[in-house]
Amino acid sequence: MDDNRDKIEFSREREIAPTLKEKLKNLPVSPGIYQFRDSNGRLLYIGKAAVLRNRVRQYFQSKPVSPMVSAMIKKISDIELITTDNEVEALILEQNLIRTYKPRYNINFKDDKSYPYIVITNEPFPRVFPTRKKRSDGSKYFGPYTDVKNMRFALKTVRNIFMIRSCSLNLTEESIANNKFSLCLDYHIHKCEGPCVGYISRQQYNETIDQVSKLLNGKTKTLVKELTAQMNEHSAGMEFEKAKVLRDKISAIEIYSSRQKIVDDEIIDRDIFVFERTGNDSCGMIMKIRDGKVAGRSHYFLTNVEDKSASEILEQLIINYYTKSEFIPDEVYLMNEIENESTIKDWLEKKKSGKVEFVIPKIGDKYKLIFMVRKNARLMLDELILSKLKREFIPPSLDSLQRDLKLSKLPRRIECYDISHIQGTDTVASMVVFSEGRPKKSDYRKFKLNYVTDEAGNPDDFLSMREVIYRRFKRITDIQLHGNPEVRSSEPGENSSVSANKKEDLSFNAVPDLIIIDGGKGQLSSAVKVLNDLGIKEQNIIGLAKRLEEVYLPGESMPYNIPKTSSGLRLLQRIRDEAHRFAVTYHKSLRDRRTLSSELSEIDGIGEKTVTKLLTKFGSVENIKNMISENFEQFEKEAGKKLSEKLRKHFSES
């Protein structure tokens, strides 16, 4: 061999390791698979080649390449090869390896998940049911169905038209002859012909299964033609009942077929492959046409396609689809040419055991068909991009808040705490939660607190704040230490019902990105001390004082300056106001309930349990007064004669 063939004009962008140069010089000329790995042994890319020597060396030549390929080449430290006997074997092996290892620089099928199939089992009396697992046991698989609704509709149609068994009995001719089974309900409601007791032979049952197979493959015209011929034979032989059964089947199949759009007068099977892409995302779509009608469609979202050629994307779509699909049509329509057409065609023909033709329409109705499928692919891709934008959208106020406070991460979940009381009575606290800049009311929580005072006898808001923060964040430390917090006895001042339900409190399980304390330096210091005592160190927390709308940071004596026009500051104020509203509302409800309870409790012979029962049943003292004066008989029935008299006497004297 000429020594000049071993000379490579290496890219000037990077140095190639001597061991790698040696491998490049000794590459084989056979077909196979090549795998690029980085210095840590991680797989970067898997590719196939008709001639490994030529294909692999192309990557290291100094001709211009795309930015993504250039970035990959810089990381390559090792090359692994697997030689094959032919290009078809290389094609299959490449697809299997990509699906298994998902290398960073290969096209990635975003929806490469276990789509459902309809399976016809390989048994003497086959069953038909949905599955997500393909087994190499001789069963027939139809799909995959990317739209589960279509799969369910097809399965429902099969069960409505054909009398096939739905049981999982192990039916063999021996077990049937030994009378091991008995008829089930399906036989009596004419959903099954009773193969379990020998009412239908194996041959007759499998003829029905063949018809099911044709229907699932979309061969409705062929199936109707066969059934019509059978119906005419039975009719000519005076077997009118059998002819009627076939007539009903034909009618049901024609109704099912009428839902399929006619796109071609030719009775031929074809699949149409197209894709649309935007940036690094793509949507590939396959439309299945059987007997000239649309029998269904499948779509796949692909990523990592920005630097990939149209040929490479289409090839991966074809290979991925037919690796999973059992049915290969006579024609495959493509939107553009593919580089390895002959190799893929050979693979499909070998799998089909018949001829497969690739067609690239340029004009006429067939081109319009390609255009229609591309429009559908574009719609699907636009939906994907829109959903990504919704997920990735950051409200400007959150972005501003992160910038203003110099937070380490975006404050997607913000919790704010406020204390409310009147001279220390009915002390409560609120916890409001804003997610993505909007209130998440399902995560709001309220606290009933102990009545605590300072040395002068005044309500101590600092101690109240400590209690709230402790009760809230003790749960997080329990999770971090033990994996799952245990239900403990109530903390001092903690409502026992709250403690008992902690395991189910998802809001208490979440870790906030930012904590807002409604108050100045004192309240903030109280909260920070509790967090430190619990071992929570890296927590973003601020105080927001009401009087001058000043923001305080932990350890800082002077307020932190945020521009008054900042949307982040407006968000803080809105959250603080919501926490104040929620706390005041809860405080007012407790105070009103206590006031009402004390009014009723003053009546001789009425205890706390009775007061609670009355308020629960009638809502308020005012409602009780109105009902006594307007409809005493009804009130007496609901509250009891003795209690009603006591209440009427009390309110008439007051």
| Range in 213-227, 281-295, 480-494, 598-612 with the lowest mean pLDDT | 480-494
In order of 286, 365, 434, the CA distances from 513 in angstroms are: 44, 57, 10
In the predicted structure, residue 488 carries a pLDDT above the cut 50:
no
Query: Is the per-residue pLDDT at 416 higher than 70?
Result: yes
- Kindly state the helix (H) or strand (E) to which residue 498 belongs, with its residue range: helix 496-500
User: Mind listing the domains of the chain with CATH numbers?
Assistant: 3-106 (3.40.1440.10), 117-258 (no CATH), 270-391 (3.30.420.10), 399-584 (3.30.420.340), 602-653 (no CATH)
pLDDT tens digits, residue range 511-535? 899 999 988 888 889 899 999 888 8
pLDDT of residue 335: 92
283, 300 Cβ separation under 8 angstroms:
yes
Which DSSP helix (H) or strand (E) runs through 479?
A: helix 461-482
State the pLDDT confidence band at 425, using cuts at 50, 70 and 90.
Answer: low
Query: Quick one: pLDDT at residue 422?
Result: 67
User: Where does the pLDDT of residue 314 fall: very low under 50, low under 70, confident under 90, or very high at 90 and above?
Assistant: very high
Residue 331 and residue 337: Cα distance in Å, rounded?
A: 15
What are 496-516's pLDDT values in tens digits?
Answer: 334 434 445 677 788 899 999
Task: Name the phi and psi angles at 274, rounded to 5.
Answer: -140, 170
Model pLDDT, residue 618: 76
Q: For the chain, what is the largest distance between any 2 Cα atoms, rounded to a whole number of angstroms?
A: 121
Mean pLDDT of the chain: 81
Q: What is the pTM of this model?
A: 0.52
94-103: average pLDDT: 85
Give the pLDDT confidence of 5-45 residue by residue, as tens digits.
444 454 434 456 667 777 888 888 889 999 998 888 889 99
Structure confidence at residue 515 (pLDDT): 92
Q: What is the pLDDT of residue 494?
A: 44
Evaluate if residue 193 carries a pLDDT over 60. Answer: yes
Q: Which residues contact 648 (CB under 8 A, 6 or more apart)?
A: 628, 632
pLDDT tens for residues 337-362?
Answer: 998 888 899 999 988 888 999 999 98
227 and 249 Cβ atoms separated by less than 8 Å: yes
> Helix 621-630 to helix 641-653 angle, to the nearest 10 degrees?
100
Report how far residue 240's alpha carbon sits from residue 246's, in angstroms, rounded to the nearest whole number: 10
pLDDT at residue 433, as a whole number: 93
